Amino acid sequence: MAANRKVQTIPATLGRFTSAPITSTHKRKVAGYARVSTDHDDQFSSYTAQVDYYTNYIKSRNDWEFVNVYTDEGITGTSTKRREGFKRMIADALDGKIDLIVTKSVSRFARNTVDSLTTIRQLKENGTEVYFEKENIWTFDAKGEVLITIMSSLAQEENRSISENCTWGQRKRFADGKVTVPFKHFLGYDRGKDGNLVLNKAQAEVVKRIYAMFLRGMTPHTIARKLTEGKIKTPAGCDTWSGGSVRSILSNEKYKGDALLQKTFCEDFLTKKMKINQGEVPQYYVENNHEAIIDPQTFDMVQAELARRKEGNNHHSGIHLLSHKIKCGDCGGWYGSKVWHSNDKFRRIVWQCNNKYKNKDKHCTTPYLDENQIKERFTIAVNKLLAGSSSAIRACEAALSATLDTSELEQKQQNLLAEMQTLDSALRQLIHRNATTAQDQNEYRKSYDEIAQKFSSAEEQKKLVDKKLSDLLKHRNIIENFISKLKEQNGQISEFSENLWCGLLDYVTAYTDGRLVFRFKNGSEFLG
């Protein structure tokens, strides 16, 4: 090795990240970023103050060139997906429009560690630095990324803690029966000062109309079309209704004055993804919470009708009161409406079996029926029912107390639920012990499988009990509504009643010999 070996240092002339000459006096293009996480009035001053501060702060530096102050108002920091101001700022930085971003703190930038680090590294590779004032961190500094990782993790943990506290507070309010609606648009009601529902009389009439149209035989899609044609605004103030919106109104317990709380819950505090509550977290049912638009009997009748239309393979057209109500005594299918002489003066609507000509070899022999004929014969049948209404009411009330008692099933349901909770706790304890204490894994697996099997067995039993209880309660509601309708009626009727058709009748069976047998919801049958 040569004794006179020399090492000469050649100084850097370009910035590592900017590629600009070190001695360059070029002004850095600087932007500010401001965010507040809520849109409440008490946060507005903070938001405005941040914008003014960064505007003045950047413009006061001679070595900086002001670009813009990017803002997000009322947006959480846990995710960048809905932060349009943030996304626009990053896009401008990647396009070379920004050299430096100044923001208040790491938590203002992002409360998600992954988002924060990914974005900072992306900006760094593109030559854009970020300065966090509160923590005094410059991302081009060698120790900057380590500090950002720590601070981002702390911010994320802080957000998790805040989320858990908010969730606990919300569930505590639910358990206390304090109802607040999380939306501005709810047809039939306005949101009161206390967050509860206050009746909107004009909109309430629309809700009543929707329920009436459904009980007259219309489907949610048909109702939606008629509401759109009538230029009635949707709950959100739009012009076009959907079947889903109508179905939601028909099945919402709030219209009978009650409130089911925690129908959905936040599955992940980072993504804010909401999930339909299928038993993962408690629910709370508050009765008589606010003024009802629909009486409980009508509401229960609608739920029973929704369930009935959903069952079986027969399609419910929903365009008429008689739809899905007349059964063919020959094949068991449903009658549907047909138009005769549609293009001339003899035009008329008749009802026939939908399967009448489906089988080429054998046609259904049941007759065509005229709408007026059906209504007249229903009037005869319902008068026969009303003639013995007192005995019918007594029989229904006896059935309610004898065969429709749900107390035993409800007790069994609670016992199984308690058993499942005990087994779940035992399983968790077993897993924890195995994770913290050395154990024989064969014994552990044996104990685990035993408890898990017991839990699965109890779960299956509970599903069966839940189904039986649901069916029994559904039938009970039908009978209770039937009794209520009978008690409302004073004497015989002289003409067809839509109210009694919807409230009392189960279905009509048309036979080949012309007989029409009307089956009512209490199981009784009368010839019309």
- pLDDT tens-place string over residues 477-496: 777 777 877 787 777 888 88
Residues 228 and 356 in one domain: no
Q: Of 276, 310, 344, which marks where a domain is finished?
A: 310
Which one, of 100, 86, 93, 105, lies nearest residue 140 by Cα? Answer: 100
Q: Which two tokens stand for residue 526?
A: 């009368």
Residues 295 and 393 in one domain: no
**Average pLDDT for residues 37-58, to the nearest whole number?**
69
Backbone angles phi, psi at 318, to 5 degrees: 70, 25
Mean pLDDT value across the chain: 77
The CATH number of residue 195's host domain is 3.90.1750.20
Q: Of 280, 310, 340, which marks where a domain is finished?
A: 310
pLDDT tens-digit readout, 53-73: 889 889 988 889 999 999 887
Helix, strand or coil, per DSSP, at residue 82: coil
Residues 228 and 155 in one domain: no
Evaluate whether residue 46 is within a structural domain: yes
Q: What is the pLDDT of residue 71?
A: 86
Evaluate whether residue 376 is within a structural domain: yes
Structure-model confidence comparison of residues 205 and 217, the more confident one: 205
**Average pLDDT for residues 442-451, to the nearest whole number?**
86
Which one, of 368, 466, 373, 384, lies nearest residue 417 by Cα? Answer: 466
12 contact partners, CB below 8 Å, separation of at least 6: 22
Q: Of 310, 338, 367, which marks where a domain is finished?
A: 310
Domain encompassing residue 515: 326-527
Residues 78 and 121 in one domain: yes
For 297, other C-beta atoms within 10 Å of its C-beta total: 18
Q: What is the pLDDT of residue 65?
A: 92
Residues 45 and 194 in one domain: no
**Average pLDDT for residues 7-29, to the nearest whole number?**
61
Evaluate whether residue 253 is within a structural domain: yes
Evaluate whether residue 4 is within a structural domain: no
Q: What is the pLDDT of residue 289?
A: 77
Task: Tell me the C-alpha distance between 491 and 407, whole Å.
Answer: 36
Residues 305 and 343 in one domain: no
Only one residue has tokens 């009658």, namely: 335
Q: What is the pLDDT of residue 486?
A: 78
- Starting at the edge strand found earlier in the chain, the sheet holding 525-527 runs 326-328, 505-510, 516-520, 525-527
Quote the DSSP letter at residue 74: S
User: 129 near 100, Cβ under 8 Å?
Assistant: yes
Specify the range with the lowest mean pLDDT, choosing from 60-64, 430-434, 451-455: 430-434
Q: What is the pLDDT of residue 17?
A: 43
Q: What is the pLDDT of residue 252?
A: 84
Quote the DSSP letter at residue 232: P
**Average pLDDT for residues 211-231, to the nearest whole number?**
84
Residues 101 and 143 in one domain: yes
Evaluate whether residue 395 is within a structural domain: yes
Which one, of 309, 117, 160, 349, lies nearest residue 222 by Cα? Answer: 309
pLDDT tens-digit readout, 126-140: 889 888 888 788 888
Q: Is 48 left (phi over 0), alpha (psi -120 to 50) or beta?
A: alpha
- Tell me the whole-structure pTM to 2 decimals: 0.47
Helix, strand or coil, per DSSP, at residue 468: helix
Task: Tell me the C-alpha distance between 106 and 153, whole Å.
Answer: 10
Structure-model confidence comparison of residues 76 and 34, the more confident one: 34
Q: Which two tokens stand for residue 412?
A: 């069994």
Evaluate whether residue 9 is within a structural domain: no
Cβ-based burial of 442 (10 A; exposed 0-12, middle 13-18, buried ≥19)? exposed
pLDDT above 90 for 467 = no
Residues 353 and 499 in one domain: yes
Which pLDDT band, with edges at 50, 70 and 90, does 43 fall under?
A: very low
Residues 498 and 353 in one domain: yes
Which one, of 300, 317, 331, 325, lies nearest residue 483 by Cα? Answer: 300
Residues 272 and 345 in one domain: no
The half-sphere exposure of 35 on its side-chain side, counting CA atoms within 13 A, is 25
Total of domains in the chain = 3
Evaluate whether residue 18 is within a structural domain: no
Q: What is the pLDDT of residue 517?
A: 92
Residues 385 and 514 in one domain: yes
Cβ-based burial of 113 (10 A; exposed 0-12, middle 13-18, buried ≥19)? buried
Task: Tell me the C-alpha distance between 356 and 367, whole Å.
Answer: 10
Q: What is the pLDDT of residue 16?
A: 47
CA distances from 47 to 42, 101, 134 (A): 10, 17, 17
Evaluate whether residue 522 is within a structural domain: yes
pLDDT tens-digit readout, 99-116: 999 988 777 776 555 667
Residues 94 and 145 in one domain: yes
Which one, of 525, 521, 493, lies nearest residue 511 by Cα? Answer: 525
pLDDT tens-digit readout, 251-280: 888 888 887 766 565 555 445 566 666 555
508 contact partners, CB below 8 Å, separation of at least 6: 325, 326, 327, 374, 378, 516, 517, 518, 519, 528
